[in-house]
Amino acid sequence: MWRRGIVTAVVCVLLTGVLFFHSDIPNRIGNLGSLTETFLPWAGLLLPVLLVVAVLRRSTTALIALVLPALVWTNLFGGLLLDKSRSGGDFTVLTHNVNADNPDPDGTARDVAAAGADVIALEELPESQAKRYASDLAAAYPYHSVQGTVGLWSKYPLSGVRPVDIRMGWTRAMRAAVSTPDGPVAVYVAHLPSVRVKFDAGFTAGQRDRAADALGQAIIAEPLESVVLLGDLNGTMNDRALASVTSQMRSTQGAAGNGMGFSWPASWPMARIDQIMVKGAEPRSSWTLPKTGSDHLPIAARLQLPADNKDN
């Protein structure tokens, strides 16, 4: 009885090792650690498969071993399955990678405007379509700025607008201070470089990692207390390579979301690479919006700004 299902038990132990020691998987070879962390939640799909095998094999050993990865996975991701949204919040933000090849930019603009957010950030804005988005959003969002391929639309006045250098050679990040009724909020919009999985090179994320470090340094130097980061980071909160950003900010999905909140690809979301992150503000709810003409899903969050924000 105890020797039956040994192979299944070994697989359970190996899965436990990957889940528990994922941060120790080295990035020296093809950024394997970051690749594993990007899709780490999907390791949970192996649990019911291993359970079925253990039951069919009538293996007590395998069933006992299965408890280990089940506990570790639940500890890592179980909290994301709960609804952590709360009432309240006075500042709603939305971000969307609209896709440069979007066949329906006007429809996408109407969709994001219909969400009623106070601030909308758009990424991957082609120069040829930036004016169309500005025109479509002008009625609801009288204040806006486009810097390179990212833009910010706001119901409140903007000041201190400037591009943020993330070491790419062209502008894919910006910063602006939004003058909300509760005081100024620094809003950063960023679109970090794309990553690829190549047979000969592994997870090619070097440029993204350098851009993330530069973005993290810019946010550290931000003088305003309340800071919001909106954008496509081409990485998940689990990816250690984004630590320069994730170590100093909270994910609204992790703090106030309901479910995994995967945002890409829109047709079959597998990872949350679009992020809303905050510091000096309290996430109250976070959600994913329906599909637009883009290959990403829009995401939004409602935030509670601090009572003393007006003093900033």
Predicted model pTM: 0.91
Q: Is residue 283 part of a domain?
A: yes
- Residues 284 and 244 occupy one common structural domain: yes
190 and 216 co-located in one domain: yes
Domain assignment present for residue 299? The answer is yes
Check whether 76 has a pLDDT greater than 90.
yes
CB atoms within 10 A of CB 272: 26
Question: How many domains does one find in the chain?
Answer: 2
Both structure tokens of 77: 């991701």
- Measure the CA–CA gap between 4 and 54, rounded to whole angstroms: 9
Q: Which one-letter amino acid corresponds to residue 217?
A: Q
In a 10 Å sphere around its CB, with 0-12 CB exposed, 13-18 middle and 19+ buried, how is residue 181 labelled? exposed
What DSSP string runs through 278-293?
Answer: EESSEEEEEEEPPP-S
Tens digit of each residue's pLDDT (9 = 90 or more) over 81-123: 899 999 999 999 999 999 999 999 999 999 999 999 999 999 9
For residue 118, the domain's CATH number is 3.60.10.10
Q: What does DSSP say about strands 119-123 and 196-198: parallel, antiparallel, or unpaired? A: unpaired
Q: Which domain holds residue 51?
A: 6-81
Other Cβ atoms within 10 Å of 270 Cβ, number: 14
- Give me the mean pLDDT over the 292-299 stretch: 98
Beta bridge partners of 304: 282
Looking at the structure, do residues 105 and 67 belong to the same domain, yes or no?
Answer: no
Any domain includes 270 = yes
Q: Tokens 């954008």 belong to which residue? A: 231
- 146-178: per-residue pLDDT in tens? 999 999 999 999 999 999 999 998 999 999 999
Is position 86 within any domain? no
